[in-house]
C-alpha cells in the first residue's frame, strides 16, 4: 500500500517485488535483472570461460529500451 499524489494504491503482495533502487528506468531494471540472473548461475561457468558475457535487454515499447552487459574477467 502506498500514497502517490494524494491517491491510495493497494497492490497484491504476491505480484509485487520491491527492488533496491532509487528510480526505475529500463537501464536500472536491466542491471538488476542481470545481477539476479548471474547470481543464479554457478560461478564455475564464468571461471571456466563457458560464459564470458551476459546481455539482458528490457524494452519499454517497440524500439525503446536498454541493454545491460556483464563481461566476465
Per-residue pLDDT, 69: 97
Per-residue pLDDT, 2: 86
* pTM of structure: 0.76
User: Using only C-alpha atoms, what is the Rg of the chain?
Assistant: 16
3-state class of 21 per DSSP?
A: coil
**H or E stretch covering 61:** strand 53-61
In sequence order, which residues have a C-beta less than 8 Å from that of residue 34 and are 6 or more positions away?
54, 56, 68, 70
pLDDT tens track for 1-47: 889 999 999 999 999 888 889 888 999 999 999 999 999 999 999 99
Per-residue pLDDT, 32: 95
Rounded to whole angstroms, the Cα distance separating 31 from 68 reads 6
Amino acid at each position: 500500500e502506498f500514497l502517490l499524489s494524494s491517491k491510495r494504491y493497494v497492490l497484491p503482495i504476491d505480484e509485487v517485488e520491491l527492488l533496491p533502487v532509487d528510480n526505475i528506468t529500463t537501464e536500472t531494471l536491466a542491471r538488476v535483472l542481470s545481477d539476479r540472473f548471474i547470481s543464479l548461475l554457478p560461478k564455475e561457468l564464468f571461471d571456466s570461460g563457458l560464459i564470458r558475457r551476459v546481455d539482458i535487454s528490457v524494452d519499454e515499447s517497440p524500439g525503446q529500451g536498454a541493454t545491460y552487459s556483464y563481461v566476465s574477467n
